Structure 1
Amino acid sequence: MATSGRHHRSMNRISSQPGLVSLDDRRRPQPPALVLVAHGSRDPRTLKTVHELLDQVREQRPDLPVHLGHIELNEPLLPDTLAKLGDAEAVLVPLLLSRGYHVKRDIPEMAAASPARTRVAAPLGPHPLLVDTLHARLVEAGWPTDMDEETRRESAVVLAAAGSRDPDSAVDTRRTAHLLSDRLGVPVVPAYASAATPTVDTAIRALTARGRHRIAVASYFTAPGLFARQCAQKAPWIAAAPLGTHPAMADLILHRYDQAADRRGAGLCRSAAPPRGATSHELPALAV
């Protein structure tokens, strides 16, 4: 009996050592890698923001392989990242806020040209977690959390986005504006820095003509940059910071990853809690 006890204690020690598995244990399948696909920017603050988001994602999922690939302007470029993965499985999560040319064409074409087995996740928006972040950034900038009716009648928000010629991009941005308007209880008008209308200036003039004299600009950009700065400078009242590294952003990146990985049948071990700011009954309806 003593010999049998020593044997079991020895097997327990082996199975608890890193890299060693007892004969009756089963190895968990390696989850697909998460490749965060950023656009790229000449502004160094953008790259810093992206790396901080990656750190947050890795902290939440320490067992998940996480990589970065850029569409342009910064290294590593997405094709180089995918080439290094070989024929591994990967889920590409666009760090983009709506559908458009990059999501529909650029990223899928780069993925198809690589040896990796890939699936492209939905862009981050529209989603209630983005509204959580936009609201938090507005409050940081001075948006009142307890607004009386007179102030509410005078207030409005311009949701300043980059802009795209793709009509689906405008649809997604309008959806985010609608969700933010529901949250704030004031009109929220989407406006664009380029490639689409209305411009931020035009939206501000239209709201002013409607008697809205307290107009905030919500920065619908993932990170600081030229467009975000130009839009913020037009604000007649307050201008919020870009989405940046708010904790809900990392939650949303992982939520998009999980959606795509589950559709692939990857059998991931997912956290039991839904993403911060979303209730469990909302999640099935949030896929786009």
Structure 2
Amino acid sequence: MLIGHGSHLNGESAGAVYRYAELLRARGLYDEVVEGYWKEEPSLRQVLKTTHSTDVTVIPMFISEGYFTETVIPRELGLGHQGPVPEGGVARVLGGKTVRYTLPYGVHPGMAEVILARAREALPDLNSQDTALIVLGHGTTRNENSSRVIYRNAELMRESGHFAEVQALFLDEDPKVGTWPEVVRAPRVVVVPFFASEGWHTLETIPEDMGLTGEVTAFPGNPHGPQTVYYARPVGTHSAVADVILHLAEEARGASERGGDVDRTHAEAWAAFLTLARRGTRVGEVLMTPHAGMFEIRHALDEGRPTGDLTTVVTPEGLRDLARRDEGGHHRPVHTFRSLLRGWRAVLHEADLPRGMGYLYPAVVEEGYAHHTHTLRATPWPTTARRQTGIYTKVQRATPEQVENVAKDVCSRCLKTRLWAGEKLGSTFFGGVPGAIPCPEACTFFIAEVREEVSGKRGQAGHGHED
């Protein structure tokens, strides 16, 4: 299980996690590879329900230790652990599943090899006589762990002997990246961003702060003489990170050879859903039709539309990508919003149906079946609010009127019924009511909007801060 931050605003934020999940899935070493997110779906509160395995290793897809890896993720997963994670990870039994939680991939010693690989891509003939390396981190004065991993990797690179000099520089703390002409002496300089993904910082902030004009930039008048900077891609997007993830997973398992069993509740939910699917069914905004061991999925409003008028996708990943955008091309962090794109059809094998439906409507089958069998527990809003920490602590101050004000806007766009607010749902799509989908707990999008409401910023331009 790969855990990413995700975003309510930016659809590209989860891209790196998706790519690594696909790489690991292709290797066939695990029965399943799933993803979960803080700001998207399946959420950290849902994601354990979406796995059929009873032995789950959770890898935080973060570049360093800090607030998310030590507080948010363990809290939301219900691990009963807060604070630094030991090298061997933390193991808990939750709902019949053995859950192993590891350190974030960015602190693994194997990342030093990824830095070197990125440097060689940018400058294949680098050498220890005339080439300097800058390991560039974000840094923050709020958490020393953010810089610790940068200094550690810079030291490993220094000891490797591949470079004439190695410097650790930062965006948001000293020594800052803008000082590089004063501190770096070598005529050739390779800059490797120690960032998880391509984004604003790697594409805009770093080049601006360093005065870069592209992948290779010449500086003829620097204090230590002419220098040429070779700008590498961030470490977090390198395919070798998949090997780092596997090493973390192996270390978390220790000497255990025995794999997990199939989660009985999960298996029952999907057996019941397949029974519906084989007869033809509708869930939310989609219509599912069986065809000789295959299933066609399309928007219900496209029923009867000629297949030649529709774009056809034949993989779960294709279904995932189209479900993340609405008609206007905007990101859909909540997949049960009534904004599903039209004009497509997915054709999936039965074996791919659980993953395809999981991408389309994350955790809906599992939670729908739990409600259908009267085993779903709702979490009231006050309980969810009290659990929040950091910048979201202020949602605890929200009045009932403010909560309902947000719900009128956010929840009115959603197919789900708010069990967490005391609303009743007599039946679900398992009982033949397509749009009857339970919502047992307020989603992170709703929580973020309540925070904006309490702050008095909701509806203002630029609201929707992503931490």
| TM-score under structure 2 length normalisation | 0.43
Please identify, of 252-261 and 236-245, the stretch whose mean Cα deviation from structure 2 is larger: 236-245
In the alignment, what sits opposite 1:267?
A: 258
Deviations 1:59-79 (A, max 9, x none): 22344321101122x333222
Unaligned regions of 5+ residues in structure 1, if any? Answer: 1-34, 270-288
In the alignment, what sits opposite 2:132?
A: 156
Unaligned regions of 5+ residues in structure 2, if any? Answer: 80-93, 218-228, 261-467
Following the alignment from structure 2 to structure 1, what is the Cα–Cα distance between the partners of residues 31 and 148? Answer: 33
- 1:222 to 1:110, Cα distance in 2 relative to 1, 3 A: same
Following the alignment from structure 2 to structure 1, what is the Cα–Cα distance between the partners of residues 31 and 151? Answer: 33
> What amino acid sits opposite 2:199 in the alignment?
G
Tell me, yes or no, if the aligned pair for 1:219 and 1:232 is still in contact at 8 Å.
Answer: no
Task: Tell me the CA shift for residue 250 of structure 1.
Answer: 0.7
Is 1:59 the counterpart of 2:26? The answer is: yes
Identity of aligned residues (%): 24
Tell me, yes or no, if the aligned pair for 2:65 and 2:107 is still in contact at 8 Å.
Answer: no
Deviations 1:147-188 (A, max 9, x none): 373x2xxx3222122324222332222111111223323322
Tell me, yes or no, if the aligned pair for 2:2 and 2:35 is still in contact at 8 Å.
Answer: yes
What's the C-alpha RMSD, in Å, of the aligned pairs? 2.8
- 1:186 to 1:251, Cα distance in 2 relative to 1, 3 A: same
Tell me, yes or no, if the aligned pair for 2:192 and 2:235 is still in contact at 8 Å.
Answer: no
Deviations 1:84-109 (A, max 9, x none): 34894422101112221111111111
Following the alignment from structure 2 to structure 1, what is the Cα–Cα distance between the partners of residues 164 and 65? Answer: 26
In the alignment, what sits opposite 1:119?
A: 100
In the alignment, what sits opposite 2:117?
A: 136
Following the alignment from structure 2 to structure 1, what is the Cα–Cα distance between the partners of residues 32 and 152? Answer: 32
Say which one has the larger Rg. Answer: 2
Following the alignment from structure 1 to structure 2, what is the Cα–Cα distance between the partners of residues 95 and 157? Answer: 25
Tell me, yes or no, if the aligned pair for 1:95 and 1:123 is still in contact at 8 Å.
Answer: yes
Number of residue pairs aligned between Structure 1 and Structure 2: 224
Following the alignment from structure 1 to structure 2, what is the Cα–Cα distance between the partners of residues 125 and 133? Answer: 10
> What amino acid sits opposite 1:168 in the alignment?
N
In the alignment, what sits opposite 1:188?
A: 166
Following the alignment from structure 2 to structure 1, what is the Cα–Cα distance between the partners of residues 258 and 166? Answer: 40
| Pairing of 1:165-244 with structure 2 (within 5 A) | 165-183=142-160, 184-194=162-172, 196-202=173-179, 204-208=180-184, 211-229=185-203, 230-233=205-208, 234=210, 235=212, 237-244=229-236
Deviations 1:103-161 (A, max 9, x none): 1111111121675542210122334431222222222222524x373x2xxx3222122
- 1:143 to 1:52, Cα distance in 2 relative to 1, 3 A: same
- Aligned residue for 2:34, secondary structure, equals strand
Tell me, yes or no, if the aligned pair for 2:134 and 2:166 is still in contact at 8 Å.
Answer: yes
Tell me, yes or no, if the aligned pair for 1:69 and 1:81 is still in contact at 8 Å.
Answer: yes
- Aligned residue for 1:166, secondary structure, equals coil
- Aligned residue for 1:57, secondary structure, equals helix
Deviations 1:45-68 (A, max 9, x none): 443332121111112234432110
> What amino acid sits opposite 1:159 in the alignment?
V
Task: Tell me the CA shift for residue 244 of structure 1.
Answer: 4.4
Following the alignment from structure 2 to structure 1, what is the Cα–Cα distance between the partners of residues 59 and 128? Answer: 40
**Which of these residues, 236, 245, 264, is aligned with residue 253 of structure 1?**
245
Is 1:49 the counterpart of 2:16? The answer is: yes
Tell me, yes or no, if the aligned pair for 1:161 and 1:219 is still in contact at 8 Å.
Answer: yes
Tell me, yes or no, if the aligned pair for 1:262 and 1:268 is still in contact at 8 Å.
Answer: no
| Pairing of 1:91-130 with structure 2 (within 5 A) | 91-112=57-78, 115=95, 117-130=98-111
Following the alignment from structure 2 to structure 1, what is the Cα–Cα distance between the partners of residues 128 and 44? Answer: 49
In the alignment, what sits opposite 2:56?
A: 90
Following the alignment from structure 1 to structure 2, what is the Cα–Cα distance between the partners of residues 76 and 197? Answer: 37
Following the alignment from structure 1 to structure 2, what is the Cα–Cα distance between the partners of residues 87 and 140? Answer: 38
Following the alignment from structure 2 to structure 1, what is the Cα–Cα distance between the partners of residues 207 and 250? Answer: 34
Tell me, yes or no, if the aligned pair for 1:100 and 1:168 is still in contact at 8 Å.
Answer: yes
**Which of these residues, 45, 61, 77, is aligned with residue 43 of structure 2?**
77
- Aligned residue for 1:238, secondary structure, equals strand
Deviations 1:203-224 (A, max 9, x none): x14424xx34433210111221
